[in-house]
């Protein structure tokens, strides 16, 4: 009732942001209680893009359900597919050929860079800097072109499948990735020039939206959001899957917990991804890109869980099988949902103008939250 | 003391802004480094990679023959019910009946370009085409029949 009147008994103003709002990057609805310009409460309302993906998966076979997960966190489509493929492989107990493992990791890391590039551009646009968006998209488009050549699509690839990958790498892949790395190293300086060093940007990010490590853990934050508060949670390091155990890379940690720290984590993470790609790109093993699997996949009765590190944090795939050709139940633990839940905590006491910057550094993808 | 710090801060701020603007000016004067494609104008020269998943097609040879046996593997592999295989029985010259396709109905509006049908097809009868300008004014135009009228199965494909 109070919300209808737009004012609470204490005289605070209630402002609705969304569901259709350019700054929420999707159909997220925030109900914000304001005292003057100070935020007293932020209530996210979800459900505007709920497609019941988990339920849909229950009627699809183990080969079919993977493509749907590209539509969750569409910026890490490869990594979502990867998580599902790994989980099914766990149930089938198939050994993935080394070549397929390397291809998967390479594509994952390219996806991670592409996702962080988009985040960088979009976040800069949120806080009012428009130019970075185009610079970010220049690099991202290069990755998308590489993906298009190898996987046949730019965003929802559906390239990973139980047992390996769908096709072999395109003959141009290595050369193009190498030229991308050159381009990236050449252009990364511009990012600092345009945004990271900018005084307006710094002042808007520093000490804004501080997330303490305790809160990060108790709200279940993962990914760069938690690592910005100094919580070590990189699944690639803690529970290595595929060839992540053999490559050399650092888990990026920042201790500030504010928006600037989360920003820096992602910027530095892109360089680590480049490092991983550099190590793997020359030594792609020979062999099959797909393990032999049966025509109809049947998981044994039981429960299977697999987690991976997407660009936004920890994605968990939980499959309950009754022994049939379709899963009995599938649950996705999406990183975005937990990261969104902390928004109220970090926004309280802050200013309305900073809310968008905080949301930007949480890197929310709404279809991933709602599924 | 306070004054020096203040001046330093202001100076740093001005410099950081100038650095950013310099980058913008650089691109303003270096058109060659701009990579934007002028899409509808470059239609003639636009080449999509051969793996691009645009729509499912069934290639026919010059004798109007395709490779589809009507095994419905693609229909079963499709997650969305995009493909419907309507089969009929051909009478062979020897008098034997043989299963063949009558129509392979493909609903482009349902297709998610996941490539599973192409992977599932045992006789390589369907493949992905590199088209992408799919919008039409009538929804009915999106339902396609992939085999040409009067087409037959190639000899030797089982
Ligand atoms: S590409 Fe996927 S959705 Fe489209 S017809 Fe083939 S299996 Fe169905
Ligand atoms: S297109 Fe291929 S999979 Fe589909 S019915 Fe024909 S032969 Fe079978």
B83 lines ligand 1 (CB under 6 A): yes
Determine contact, residues B147/B68, Cβ cutoff 8 Å.
yes
Residue A99's pLDDT is what? 87
CA dihedral of B112, A102, A141, B128, whole degrees rounded to 10: -30
Q: How many CB atoms lie within 10 A of CB A243?
A: 17
CA dihedral of B137, B140, B143, B147, whole degrees rounded to 10: -100
Residue of minimum CA distance from atom 6 in ligand 2? B68
B119 lines ligand 1 (CB under 6 A): no
Determine contact, residues A132/A124, Cβ cutoff 8 Å.
yes
* Spans of chain B, pLDDT less than 70: 92-95, 156-158
Chain mean pLDDT for chain A:
84
A89 DSSP β-pair partners: none
Closest ligand (CA of B79): 1
User: CA–CA separation, A302 vs A318, rounded Å?
Assistant: 11
Cis peptide upstream of residue A19 (ω within 30 degrees of 0): yes
Determine contact, residues A299/A62, Cβ cutoff 8 Å.
yes
Contact list, B16 vs chain A (CB under 8 Å): 197-199
Residue A79 has pLDDT above 70, yes or no: yes
- The residue length of chain A stands at 371
Cα A266 to Cα A202, A234, A251, B81: the distances in Å are 15, 13, 11, 40
Q: Tell me, what's the ipTM?
A: 0.78
Share of chain A above pLDDT 70, in %: 99
**CATH of the domain spanning B55-153, picked from 3.30.70.3270, 3.20.20.70, 3.30.460.20, 3.40.50.970:** 3.30.70.3270
- From the CA of B82, how far away is ligand 2's center (Å)? 13
Tell which atom from ligand 2 comes closest to the C-alpha of B120: 3
Distance from CA of A188 to the nearest CA of B (A): 12
> Which comes out higher in pLDDT, residue A192 or B126?
B126
* Residue A5: pLDDT band with limits 50, 70, 90: low
Residue A1's pLDDT is what? 44
Six token digits for residue A86: 């790994």
Domains of chain A: 51-369 (1.10.645.10)
Contact list, B19 vs chain A (CB under 8 Å): 193, 197
Contact list, A198 vs chain B (CB under 8 Å): 16-17, 20
| 8 Å CB contact of B115 and A170 | no
Q: What is the C-alpha end-to-end distance of chain A, expressed in Å?
A: 29
Residue B158's pLDDT is what? 65
Determine contact, residues A342/A216, Cβ cutoff 8 Å.
yes
Q: Which of B10, B18, B72, B79 to mutate to test the interface with A (most CBs of A within 10 A)?
A: B79
Determine contact, residues B13/B5, Cβ cutoff 8 Å.
no
| In chain B, domain spans | 1-36, 55-153
User: CA–CA separation, A171 vs A192, rounded Å?
Assistant: 34
B123 lines ligand 1 (CB under 6 A): no
């Amino acid at each position: 009732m109070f919300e209808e009147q737009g004012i609470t008994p204490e005289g605070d103003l209630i402002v609705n942001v969304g569901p259709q709002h350019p700054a929420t990057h999707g159909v997220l609805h925030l109900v914000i209680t304001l005292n003057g310009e100070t935020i007293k409460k932020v209530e996210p309302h979800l459900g505007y893009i709920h497609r019941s993906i988990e339920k849909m998966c229950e009627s699809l076979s183990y080969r079919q359900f993977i493509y749907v997960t590209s539509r969750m966190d569409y910026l890490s489509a490869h990594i979502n597919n990867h998580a599902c493929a790994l989980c099914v492989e766990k149930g089938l107990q198939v050994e993935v050929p080394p070549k397929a493992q390397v291809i998967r990791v390479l594509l994952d890391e390219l996806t991670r860079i592409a996702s962080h590039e988009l985040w960088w551009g979009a976040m800069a646009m949120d806080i009012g800097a428009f130019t970075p968006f185009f610079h970010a998209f220049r690099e991202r488009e290069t990755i998308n072109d590489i993906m298009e050549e190898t996987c046949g699509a730019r965003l929802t690839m559906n390239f990973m499948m139980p047992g390996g990958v769908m096709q072999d790498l395109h003959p141009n892949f290595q050369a193009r990735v190498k030229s991308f790395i050159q381009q990236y190293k050449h252009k990364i300086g511009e990012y600092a020039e345009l945004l990271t060093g900018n005084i307006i940007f710094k002042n808007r990010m520093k000490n804004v939206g501080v997330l303490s490590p305790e809160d990060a853990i108790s709200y279940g934050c993962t990914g760069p959001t938690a690592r910005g508060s100094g919580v070590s949670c990189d699944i690639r390091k803690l529970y290595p899957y595929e060839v992540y155990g053999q490559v050399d890379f650092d888990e990026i940690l920042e201790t500030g917990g504010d928006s600037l720290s989360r920003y820096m984590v992602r910027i530095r993470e892109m360089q680590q991804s480049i490092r991983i790609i550099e190590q793997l790109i020359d030594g792609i093993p020979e062999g099959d890109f797909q393990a032999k699997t049966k025509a109809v996949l049947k998981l044994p009765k039981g429960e299977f869980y697999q987690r991976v590190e997407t660009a936004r944090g920890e994605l968990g795939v939980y499959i309950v099988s009754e022994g049939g050709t379709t899963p009995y139940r599938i649950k996705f633990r999406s990183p975005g949902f937990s990261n969104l839940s902390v928004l109220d905590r970090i926004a309280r006491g802050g200013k309305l103008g900073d809310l968008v910057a905080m949301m930007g550094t949480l890197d929310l993808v709404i279809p991933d939250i709602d599924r | 003391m306070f004054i020096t710090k203040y001046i330093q801060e202001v100076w740093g701020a001005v410099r950081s802004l100038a650095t950013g603007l310099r980058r913008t000016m650089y691109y303003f004067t270096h058109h060659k480094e701009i990579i934007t494609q002028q899409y509808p104008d470059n239609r003639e020269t636009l080449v999509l990679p051969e793996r691009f998943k645009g729509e499912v097609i069934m290639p026919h040879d010059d004798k109007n023959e395709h490779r589809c046996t009507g095994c419905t593997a693609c229909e079963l592999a499709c997650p969305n019910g995009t493909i419907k295989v309507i089969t009929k029985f051909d009478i062979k010259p020897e008098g034997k009946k043989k299963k063949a396709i009558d129509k392979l109905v493909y609903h482009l509006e349902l297709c998610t370009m996941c490539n599973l049908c192409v992977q599932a097809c045992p006789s390589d009868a369907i493949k992905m085409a590199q088209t992408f300008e799919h919008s039409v004014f009538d929804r009915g135009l999106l339902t396609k029949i992939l085999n040409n009228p009067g087409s037959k199965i190639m000899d030797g494909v089982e």
